[in-house]
Amino acid sequence: MTETIEIAESNVEEVSSGKLSIIMFSGTADKFIPLGVLTQAGAAMGMEVNVFVTGFALLGFTKTHHDLPMSAEFAFMAPDLAKGMAANKVAGWDTMLRQARELGTKVYACSMMSGVMGLAKDDFNDLVDNIVGAATFIHQAEGGETLFI
Amino acid sequence: MTETIEIAESNVEEVSSGKLSIIMFSGTADKFIPLGVLTQAGAAMGMEVNVFVTGFALLGFTKTHHDLPMSAEFAFMAPDLAKGMAANKVAGWDTMLRQARELGTKVYACSMMSGVMGLAKDDFNDLVDNIVGAATFIHQAEGGETLFI
Amino acid sequence: MTETIEIAESNVEEVSSGKLSIIMFSGTADKFIPLGVLTQAGAAMGMEVNVFVTGFALLGFTKTHHDLPMSAEFAFMAPDLAKGMAANKVAGWDTMLRQARELGTKVYACSMMSGVMGLAKDDFNDLVDNIVGAATFIHQAEGGETLFI
């Protein structure tokens, strides 16, 4: 354990002026871990990080709490993962995303899917900066790394 | 609702000479929505858009109709999503992809997975432009934004 | 069949000096096929290929064998896929990744998720080159194509 933690800590020395864009579609709880890790790591390195939340992932950003399900195939691993996260003092995805936002990361909800799911701006919590369309986000993402989670 | 629709409409003003490539692997019905939205938005902005269909997603492009399943974890939301799509007059993914194709978007089926699934060129519908290998697609995608859905 | 195989073979003529980075998170058996195909194709073209294994996908890289499940929605297709792979003489994903590694592809396990899942360097098989943090990988991926599988 000590070794891997040391390696992780050494990462904060990486510096970048690049851009990382994440289209967050999947709504299973497990996929929110890489969202937290990647935004936090990218922002800590100095990258411009933007997140476009759409599809089922919108349920993770509402004032009303939704219990997000684990990926069906690995639901049996949920208790062990929770134990491992606690034992390794890994922050929750929302804590990591909050840290990223303090460093400038922006989170946008997809206008079309918000409409389809009956969600207005007022339904989203304070992690969401604005509601935008897909074209606006694609345009903003150009010239960087773009991931679809 | 009015607000989000206005924002979405304002997107058509974005213009780009970039390139958007999508490797479409997932075959669940929900993942075809971002395929339609992203190709349509990218093409409307003037981007070069290319789609490489592989894996289970090939089932969405055959002459024989396949009833694509929803993501297992969110299948319970299917009726509400369908209602929301209808109420917001959101076009089906295939209609959006057709609009993208009219603007130049190309759709390629993966040669290897087509073979594995017993699908020849004649088994695909008119949304598919050609059958190509992964290397050809990766080569074509270079220098732009590439998503794996 | 002959036609699609010919097209696939013609791919080896593609040459690139680009970079392909894959964040491999999903742990279902089907998603390992594109991992094998894309790394092998990218490496054969001369690209710098790097893989960052995290989440459930770590289970595919341990000395202890884990029976990886198929995507829940398409589990019924597993027997037909296996037959199609055999009939088309498609190599397993690990064979393809081994070929990619012989051409220079590097595979890294995520330090944080390894810790969470209780996996130390000695628990991984010979496909894994090293354990690194997310920031290191994001930094390395910059300026190329980056996929999240």
In a domain, B8, yes or no: no
The verdict on a CB contact (< 8 Å) between C88 and B142 is no
How many angstroms separate the CA of residue C122 from the nearest CA in chain A?
A: 12
Provide mean pLDDT across the span A49-76. 97
| pLDDT single digits (tens) C16-26 | 889 999 999 99
Confirm whether C133 is domain-assigned. yes
Lowest-confidence pick of B15-19, B86-90, C91-95: B15-19
Q: What was the pLDDT predicted at C14?
A: 81
Query: Per the domain annotation, does C7 fall within a domain?
Result: no
DSSP string, A31-79: GHHHHHHHHHHHHHTT-EEEEEE-GGGGGGGBSS---PPPPGGGGGGHH
Across the interface, do C88 and B141 touch by the CB < 8 Å criterion? no
Q: Is residue B26 part of a domain?
A: yes
pLDDT at B86 over 60: yes
Q: CA torsion angle for A96, A144, C144, A71 (degrees, to 10)?
A: 40
Establish if B6 belongs to a structural domain.
Answer: no
For residue B12, being part of any structural domain is answered with no
Rounded to two decimals, the pTM is 0.93
State mean pLDDT over B122-135: 98
Mean pLDDT of the residues in chain A: 92
Average pLDDT over residues A94-100: 98
Sequence-separated (6 or more) residues with CB below 8 Å from residue B55: B25, B26, B27, B110, B113, C30, C33, C34
Chain C touching partners, 3 or more CB pairs below 8 A: A, B
**Nearest CA-CA distance, residue B88 and chain A, Å:** 6
pLDDT tens digits, C39-84 = 999 999 999 999 999 999 999 999 999 999 999 999 999 999 999 9
Total residue count of chain A as it appears in this document: 149
* Interface contact flag, B135 C1, Cβ < 8 Å: no
Is pLDDT above 60 for A11? no
CB contact under 8 A, B38 and A72: no
SS3 C133: coil
Structure tokens at B92: 């089906």
Instruction: Give the CATH number of the domain where residue C117 resides.
Output: 3.40.1260.10
pLDDT at site A17? 87
Domain for residue C89, yes or no? Answer: yes
Q: Per the structure, how many domains does chain A have?
A: 1
A122, pLDDT greater than 70: yes
Distances (CA, A) of C148 to A102, A110, B14, B146, B148: 25, 20, 26, 10, 6
- Using DSSP's 3-state secondary structure scheme, residue B89 falls into coil
pLDDT of C85 > 50? The answer is yes
| Residue listed under structure tokens 């009833």 | B67
Distance CA A51, CA A122 (A): 19
Which pLDDT score, from 0 to 100, does residue A12 have? 55
> What ipTM is given for this predicted complex?
0.92
Q: Which range of residues forms the domain containing residue C52?
A: 20-148
Residue C101 lies in a domain: yes
